[in-house]
Structure 1
Amino acid sequence: MRVSAIPDESPTELQRKFKPMGEYLEKKLGMKVEFTPVTDYAASVEGLINNKLDLVWFGGFTFVQAKVRSNNKVIPLVQREEDEKFKSVFITTRNDIKTLQDLKGKTFTFGSESSTSGHLMPRSFLLAANINPDTDMKRIAFSGAHDATVAAVAGGKVDAGALNISVWEKLVSQGKVDANAVRVFYTTPGYYDYNWTVRADMDPALRKKLMNAFLALDKNNAGDKEILDLQRASRFIPTKAENYGAIESAARNAGLLK
């Protein structure tokens, strides 16, 4: 089974996070499981719909892109419980930025253009606050990944940025960001985000086995806890395409889904 994930963190970090999960799935499925990193978000979508990948960890927006591109021929299997109410955070080092309104005339970075929590939803909440990043900000950039957004803000390359709350909390807990210098000034409301997705033509028996393997992970079991902790998950739960309707609407409204 060929597995990949959107490159929202560095390739080495994605490999590290997936290794025990891959070994677990090999045992449960009785087949070789191989992780193949992709160069960008678009490659994760194309890889799945063109039969080069079998299972992909998508953000909500990349799932919607895959669904539209494949003509509904992809199925989201499971998501972390945390993904039912996922959030993005806006960060800055500047004392004069306290609200979204204060971003007018400032420089700002999103993550990847195809990132749900690093671009689409932050943009959608900005637009809802009557701030058009393209016209109201001095300059916008795309860092390519959540950890790169933090580095750009911390290093003073931009005045502020937006990223996913789970990567932010991880970097703070690992001491990789000085939380006294870089601070969160706005946290978005919750929305559905990440999921594990397969193509609709996967053998139904294999699909069921795969889903059951994810659902069986239990944080009270030491081996499973390591896998769940690396995935920043308390547990996996079933999901369905309908959950991502709000993201599809936000993408269409922002002109990001043609």
Structure 2
Amino acid sequence: MKRRTFLLGCAAAGLSIGFAQAQTQNPAKLRVALLPDENASTLIQNAQPLKKYLEDTLKKEIELVVTTDYSSMIEAMRFGRIEVAYFGPLSYVLAKSKAPGIEPFAVGVSKGSPTYKSVIIALADGPVKSIADIKGKIMGYGDFASTSSHLIPRAYLARNGLVGDKDYKFANLGAHDAVARAVQSGQVQAGGLSQEIFNALVAKGTIDGKKLVVLAESDPIPNYPMVMQGNLAPELKTQITSAFIGLKDPAILKTFRAEGFVATDDKAYDILRDTAKILALDLSKFKG
């Protein structure tokens, strides 16, 4: 009996030590994930200045990660395969529902505001001239877990009496740029995506702005959050937060389509949870 008690005591102590260690992780390498909303190789290339900045500031090796899609990014965060991630608002909410310990700590600021908008676009000379014309057509969305390329435009249409798979068909095309190209090519008759990304695609010449028209824009949406694992060592969390809040280099901030970062918390994203209810989306059952 004494031997059994001793072994159980050792096991309990081991679990306690393991738990304590899990709460004070301070790895030599930080894996930083970028939101897979555009071509992966382009994202990695454009983020090299960010990698150097973080290595110099945090004195750690930085590995940039771009997962295949939003779902795999959520799962990577859930199972501790990345330490820091740049999430879309909805993909963060989905990740938080699966990994309650993760923490948003900074949010991008654009034009002086920690918010952005979604737009619904169509071909300028196509069959869709107004939101009402989307009825009976095909609507292009990005990833299911995308805020501005799925949740917000889909909710906008619902508020205007158009329900997906009832009043119109829709196709999930993955990335925002894929949605814009699909609308321009006529593959879909309308599409939803981030206003910032749409403007950037036009500016770069990826799509022809003269061939497309913006049918509607959303109300402000809380911007993309930077998120970290909650079990990182407190001093490391402080250093990571300071690194992003103190980031001033425009060339690096361009990676995030932001002018800077300010502090944020989980409550800022309750509006996404409320919007999901409009569409009767059970976020806890999302299979990321």
What TM-score, normalized by structure 2, do the two folds share? 0.84
Say whether residues 1:121 and 2:152 are aligned partners. Answer: yes
- Pick one of 51, 66, 71 that aligns with 2:95: 66
- Partner Cα separation in structure 2 for residue 17 and residue 119 of structure 1: 25
Deviation of 1:240 after TM superposition, in Å, equals 0.6
> Secondary structure in 1 aligned to 2:68?
coil
Give the structure 2 partner of residue 225 of structure 1. 250
Give the structure 1 partner of residue 270 of structure 2. 245
Give the structure 2 partner of residue 215 of structure 1. 245
- Pick one of 248, 261, 271 that aligns with 1:236: 261
> Which amino acid in 2 is paired with 1:129?
N
> Which amino acid in 1 is paired with 2:137?
K
Deviation of 1:205 after TM superposition, in Å, equals 0.7
> Secondary structure in 2 aligned to 1:124?
helix
Runs of 4+ aligned structure 1 residues displaced above 3 Å come to: none
Give the structure 1 partner of residue 52 of structure 2. 23
> Secondary structure in 2 aligned to 1:144?
coil
Say whether residues 1:168 and 2:198 are aligned partners. Answer: yes
Q: Which runs of 5+ in 2 are unaligned?
A: 1-29
Give the structure 2 partner of residue 142 of structure 1. 172
Give the structure 2 partner of residue 205 of structure 1. 235
Give the structure 2 partner of residue 131 of structure 1. 162
> What is the number of equivalent residue pairs in this alignment?
251
Deviation of 1:118 after TM superposition, in Å, equals 0.5
What TM-score, normalized by structure 1, do the two folds share? 0.93
Q: Which runs of 5+ in 1 are unaligned?
A: 219-223
CA contact 1:116–1:193 (8 Å) conserved in 2: no
> Secondary structure in 1 aligned to 2:205?
coil
> Secondary structure in 2 aligned to 1:80?
strand
Give the structure 2 partner of residue 54 of structure 1. 83
- Pick one of 74, 91, 104 that aligns with 1:76: 104
Structure 1 residues 200-243: Cα deviation after superposition (integer angstroms, max 9, x where no partner): 1111111111111111122xxxxx12111232111111111000
- Partner Cα separation in structure 2 for residue 34 and residue 125 of structure 1: 38
CA contact 2:127–2:189 (8 Å) conserved in 1: no
Deviation of 1:96 after TM superposition, in Å, equals 4.3
Give the structure 1 partner of residue 117 of structure 2. 87
> Which amino acid in 2 is paired with 1:124?
A
Report the more deviating stretch, 85-94 or 22-31. Answer: 85-94
CA contact 2:106–2:226 (8 Å) conserved in 1: yes
1:31-42 aligned at under 5 Å gives the runs: 31-42=60-71
Higher Rg of the two aligned structures:
2
